[in-house]
Every structure is written in C-alpha cells, then in structure tokens.
Structure 1
C-alpha cells in the first residue's frame, strides 16, 4: 500500500527524462556546435531593431538545460500524461528506442543506493543549477545487464557504459558515443579518466558535450584595420572604467555568494587568469582574479562560488544590455586543465568564443566559435599557443595583440558572420587574461 522512498525517487527520475527523438536536443539546434555560425554575414540592425536581432541570433526558443522537454511514461504503474479528450484508444506499444532506453536506464538506476538517487535527482531537477556530488557506479556491467542487452534492439545501446546511458536519458537522446562526453573539472571521472578505473561517475551534469568538427567561415576580410580587432588593452583610454564601481562590487559580496578570489588561502597561491567583464566598450567592476583550478562565472546560480555578474551595478544600462544580462543565467564554467583552458556552457543560450589558438594561422579573418548550451570547448590550447608565439611568420601589425587573451560573448555573436564586426559591439562579454604564459 505504501510505496518506498526509493520507488518514489525512481519515478521522479523517469519523469524528468528528455523525450526520445525530440528535435530540440543539443545537436539538432546546431549541426556543428563550436563552428563559426552562419555561412554568410547577417544584415540585422543592432540599434534599430534589437528584438528582430535577438530572433536571428538565437534559436526560436532557448534549448532547455536538460536538452529537451520533460516527458512521462509508464515505467511505473501511474501515468501522468492525460488521455486525449473524447477518445479511449488502446495503449500503444512503446517505440523500440524508448523501450531500449527504459530497460538499460533501469539497469543502471537500480544499482544506485538511495543517497545516489537523491544526488542524481537534485542535479536533474535543477537542470545543473545544483550539480551535486559524483554518483559513482561500477564501470563493469552487472549480471542483469545481459538481460537488458538481450532485450535491446540496438546493439550499440546494449554496449553503452552507465554514464552514457544516463546522459542520453536526461540530456542528449541523440548522443552516440562516450567519447563525445568530457568530464568537468572536479568530477571523479576527470581525476580518473582511465577506462581501467573500477568506478565511473554517472551524474549527467558532471559532463559537457564536446563541440563538433570545426570549419572556417568564408574568407571575409576585416572591415577596418584601424578598429580594435585583437584583445583589448585594459589601459586603453577610450574604454571607460570607474574605480567607484569596483568599490561598490566589493561591498555587495554577501549572502550565498562568497568571493573566493579574495580569501586568505587563495591569496597565497599564484593566479592563472584575470577575468574582465564588459558591456559594449565599458568595463564593469574590477578584475576578478582566479586562483583555483576552476571558476564559475554566472548571473544567477542557486549555489556556488565564483564571479557573480548579477551583483555588478552600472547606471544607465541600455535595454539591450539588460535583456542580454538576463540570458546569462548559470553562465559558464571555466577550468585550467593540463592541455589548456576549457569553457563549459551552463546556461540556456549560446556563447561565442574567440582566442588566438582557435584562429586559423596566417588568416586575417576573426574565427568566432558558437558553443551551444551543455557543450564544452577548449578555448585555449597551451601547446598550440607555444607554437604560435614562436612562429616567425605571424604578423599582427594592424592593432594591439595579446596572445594569451580569450574573449567570450553571452548570447550575441560577432565577426564576419554577424552584423557586429567587433567584440565591443556585443552587449555582455568577458575577457579572460591568462597569466600562465606571461
């Protein structure tokens, strides 16, 4: 008569899954996430019709953090989907893919203890806002896996590891291989990437989906060599910055948010980057110094420390900036890793990235990568940076150039594929000033 807590957790998890075959999964929104965007320049007008511009820059509606809408099914006795009015059709058989996913998912979920189910449910229902702890399961398939695999009509699905199964269930139904997933810094699977490790984390929000193959945009030339086309010099006199704003930003660091960059323990460490936040050509707030291996940069996050852009005040913000700031949401997760600096898009809207190691050598075109929600991209490659800095044929004589600077714009793109030719035309953007090679 009374159902156990475990059964209730399993029902809630199944109801939170992503609908199979949903066209709005990650890859369906952008065939090549991380690519340069549209094939041609945009002709929308930023100043005269910003609403129209937003429709062109962003998808018709933002993809959910989980990768698609929620759905319910009859894994358990109850059915939460109401029947159509005035009709009483017989229950239809589930599609093969849905049945396969159900069998394989349940074979993973039943291996979790109640505590693991609670952590997983917290991450799934918050859409990554509360990432939770690692949910560890044995990497080896259990005895019951053979039965689930035998019932599966997909040979590929039957061989899927546990973290791939749950990533398909809760985030990306179209995910094909575990190699498309990258564990985030701080996860057990990041610290133990070897397949010989007996345990693997199956928390789907501890992984980002790798951006697809990159292809360069058409070879449009930059419009004006006199304009700023490289990472900005923070001392540039044309960029306004008020020291009073920096003071105000320090006075409001209260409540859940704590400034990790100013703690006594981190001050003893050497920093690896500084983060500057810009609104068009105006820098807002002070430089945020990063000492830890990773940092969250966000507008509104239920829990977590980092650089809170929502607490930076500025008088007389334009409506365009206000709308764009509201789209930052959970923001990005930036991490310094052995091979370079990675950015994970935690928000609901795309981010746009440019860095020297993403550019094509000897190409005069700005390469801006579009990163969809839930995707990860290596924004700075240490090895490639060393090669570029020692290349004798590089010539950046048309403006200031910083080989250790990364630019990230929230929701709005720039470059030859957009009407905004320069980063300073974007409403809200970051400049990541790396110190490891300085």
Structure 2
C-alpha cells in the first residue's frame, strides 16, 4: 500500500497491510463501513491510516504493540488483551480543525476534532465510534455495523461490556454474533374453510400506560435491565417490583411448547428471512406521508434530513405534506439524527440519536418486562432498547398454536412497533393516542409476519364461525 501521509512508520504500514476489505471491493478503500464508496477510496485510506497511527502511538507507550501485531498476524485469540483507556476520546484529536458534521453508512457521525466524548466513543478526524468496533471493522469484519454484533470471548479480561477503565481492542478477542436458528413450529392441519378473522386489540386508539427508560445506566452500554423499572403499575393495579412471571415465554423452550400429537396431522412450519426485514411508514398525526421504506440493510437510521437514495437511511426531511401544520413543522425540525434501528442476531434494537427523546410502543418488549402490552417507553438521547426478539416470538408462537387460531392471529400485533419523535403519548401526556403525535413511524417486521401467515394458512380457520347472519 502506498503511503498517504508523510513519514508513515513501518509498523503502521504492516498493520494497514492486514486491513480487511469488503468482498468484491477489489481494493483497500472500503475498510470502515463502506465510507470509501461515498467519500472516495483515497480519503477512506487516509482515515484508516490516521486511526492506526493513533492506536500505535498509544500502544507504544504501554508496550502492547507487539501483542497487537501478534494477534493480527497469527489471527489467534489466544493472545493477551490489547487495551486503551475506555474514556480515551480526548486523546484522539487528529483532524484538521473543520467543524462540519459528517455522516457515513456505518452510522459513525462527525464531530469537531477536539470535542470530548462522554459515551466512551473515540473519534478520528471528525468520525466517532466505539474503539473495539472500529478496529474489529478494520482488521476482521468490514461490514460490521454496531457493537451489538460483537461478543467478547470468555478469556478477554477487558471486554467492552465489562465497563472497565481500560477496553480491549484486540480484534481477535471478539466474536461475531450469529443469528440463532429458530426451530420449526409444529402446526396441526385443519382443512376447514377460512372465515372472517377475529378483531385485534386496537392499540392505536387505546390510552396506553407510560414508562421511562430506567435511570442509572452508564453509557455507552445503555441497556434496559432484565427487570422492569421499580414502581411499575401492572394492569390490575398492583406494583410490579419483581421480575416477570416465571411462565414468561422468553424462558420457555419452543420444543416444550409444541402441540402434542394425538393422532393430529402435524406439519412443521419453518422461519425464513425475507429480503426486507422490516417496512417503515411515516405519519403526521393521523395522515400517512410518503412511500413505505423497505429495509434491506441490518442497520439503518430514520432521521430528519434529506438524502433521497440511501438504502441505510429513511430521510423524513424531504417528505412534503400540504396539510402540515405549525406543530408538525416545528417537531420535524427537532427530529435531527433521529433513531438508528439494528437487526442483529434475530434481535431488533432502537438507539436514540436525536437530541430529543423518542417514544416506543413494542408489545414484544412490553411482554419481556411484564408491562401492559400498550405501554409506551421513553428512550432518552444516547440510549438504546431491545424492541424485538425472534426467539421470544418463536416461543410465543409455539405456545399459541396449542391455544387455537385466534391466539395465533393475535400475535400479529406483536409484529408492529410504533415510535414517535420528540412528543410522547399515553396516560401521562396531553396526547393520548399515537395519531395525536405530530411525527411518528410504524414498523412492520416482515419475517415474523410471514411466519405467522404460513402458520395461520396451515391451521385453516378460527373455531368461532362467522356467517352472513351473525
């Protein structure tokens, strides 16, 4: 590789020589999240060289440079941790002093060179990201989108999730999270004629309860804990300070929930990933605006800007509406960076990138934490929440098959997630329905919906008949 910056040390050249490139890129310009495709291969190589030089400078001071070279050259996980300070953002001012913010397809957003990070991310020349993600992307997985895709090996003593003062950036101390294979659901085949479907609970017109993202979680690992926030009031009015019931579908084995064969014709119905994992519709009050966005990438942002042709961004700023009022217009101006959605390892995460909170209604998430199905959760800026889990849904589906057609059909509501920007809704807000909020989106999870469709088709029809005279 030719030197981009003057006086490139030999060790930097060696480390850059091991940089991974995306499949089919034909060169070294695609290293970090495909930015080279947007900003030019030369600019991308320049950024990679700056990132490596900065790391080399730090590791020389601590005598860990040889260990990094050993790990990368041998591709061996049986190497020592290679650490840098976890709050090292102040050490990474590498740019030329510009203050223009930049975006890239990997969700690394730009800041002035000498700004300080409070969330554990480091920045290199206007671009900011978690250090272990940056170097895993550089030396192992160029298509890496998020820290949600990584899991540390058991022997790593300074793994990112341990939240120590030092964080390990040895790329061979992390593994890629694999999508779990969902077991097929055994469905009894009923040949009855399909009749009118039962009505679903109308979440969109009910007045939901509210909950806040639990306080006291340190960034950047702002995960929801395994128990609901203290003092949550359940549907029957009793305070729910304990963990969700032991009969939670998340704790049940799908195989244990499949129907028992008593002479029934059982058919296995398998899950398959669709080409577009979700579809997103945008609304202003009760009016649909613009076309549906079909998500093909595992990471995407819904923001308030105006890029018309990026498969990893649904930009609301370019959508027009002749009926838009002043409140909607003002709210749209505050969407900003909006929300980032990840679909990784069979799980969906929502991360608030905006300076204002987002509000999420996810029945799957609500069931996990023992909340009312219509509860709306407020996610503050910089926090993220797991809003759907395929394995939990699979367990629910296997259980519901035993309870009949109606129980399975009710699960369709679990595959819809509603999310509002800036303004919340529910019992604690002036706006009590999502259609009263100025700007909101509705996600349809295509994989679970298609799975439900196959199961319902196999089951035949509901047990309760619906005739023209009823």
Look at both structures and tell me which one has the larger radius of gyration over its CA atoms. Answer: 2
Q: Normalising TM by the smaller chain, what interval?
A: 0.3 to 0.5
The TM-score normalised by the length of structure 2 is: 0.43
